[in-house]
Amino acid sequence: MDLSVTLALSSPTEHGEQLRRRQHSLSELTYARDEDATKLETTRARLLNVLKRHEDLKERLSRDSDKLIFERLQKEFEAARVAQTEEISIDDEQWNDGLLATIREKVHIEAERKAMVNLANVPTDSQFQSRTTYRIRNKVIYCLDGARIGIQYETFFAGEPCEIYHCVLESKSFLEKMTVTEHTLPFFLPIREVETEHLSSNAIRFIDHLEEILQSYIDRREQVRLIKELYGNQIGELFHSLPYTLIEFTLEDFECKVTVSIRYSDLILTLPSQARVLAWPLRSAKRISAADRRAQPVPSRLSYAESALKTLSLPEAYAEIVLELPRALKQMFYSQESD
């Protein structure tokens, strides 16, 4: 028996009770939606507070002990550069385990010779007075005092130099494995994990992988800086993780709010592995009917924008998204109106 027959057979009292139950159910649904919206705003406010505290913590950590280490190592590396008698440029084929073994042997022999000089009046050897450094791509290998090897990483963006980072390796003897004793890498990059995974088994891989991680971090960071610089007046809220492996921002224009979220699954990536772009209709938009304004807005995915983010740099992708956005929204609204 269908609902219309049931209502016809029911008494006026029962009919009224059924209508009241329906109205109550609709009221509960409306209340649930309002409650969800309130919870969403509360969560958003909490997230903003956490992100602010995160930035404050990052600033404090970068301001104190890290800066002291950086200044001391910078002076030591600069002194090693001034004292160098020769810089040898090494290509990828020459940069191998044999060369690294030669450098390790040299720093240990030099450390032993200096120890002997301190114990007795041993004449200096011109062979050991020479200071050779090795340049491989954007890193320079220094022979430091105390049987240590110093790696200086130079980073760039769009051909312009950015930060310089240092990493110092040391071992008790030529035959023992090396360890990282000091470094100036950002604290949120996983140098200890990379050390555990690579340094004892493949030191070349360790040194090169750190270079990849640092340069990729700079690329992602500078891409975000550039869109803020070029399009800051068009961007609403912008959040990112410390290594810039998660980036989110919003655009509010064209009768909608566009939310962009991109993720990098690996620290050496400069293009996102995941991208999600949603267009949320605004309740005040002219195209939105009164009934739709009362309903919970349903977002639409902008596939063209997600493809642009995965294949172009962030500033290029942003320009592409904004250029195509009016056409995409017009098509989206037309499709919704047709439905």
Architecture of domain 61-120+130-219: 2-Layer Sandwich (3.30)
- Band the pLDDT of 134: cuts 50, 70, 90: very high
Asked if 161 contacts 154 with a C-beta cutoff of 8 angstroms, the reply is yes
- Is 13 a residue whose pLDDT tops 60? no
156-191: pLDDT as tens digits: 999 999 999 999 999 988 888 999 999 999 999 999
Region 247-256: mean pLDDT is 83
**Is the pLDDT assigned to residue 3 strictly greater than 50?**
no
By the 8 A CB rule, do 284 and 254 touch? Answer: no
In this structure, what token pair is assigned to residue 273? 């592995």
Residue 8 has pLDDT above 50, yes or no: no
Contact between 80 and 143 (Cβ < 8 Å): yes
pLDDT value, residue 102: 93
81 alpha-carbon distance from chain centroid: 32
Q: CA-CA distance, 186 to 95, in Å (whole number)?
A: 26
- The string of pLDDT tens digits covering residues 15-51 is 556 555 655 554 554 444 555 556 666 666 677 767 6
pLDDT attached to residue 21: 62
Asked if the model's pLDDT at residue 1 lies above 70, the reply is: no
Averaged pLDDT score across all residues of the chain? 82
Residue 258 tokens, joined? 């566009």
pLDDT per residue over 77-119, tens digit each?
A: 999 999 988 999 999 999 999 999 999 999 999 888 888 876 6
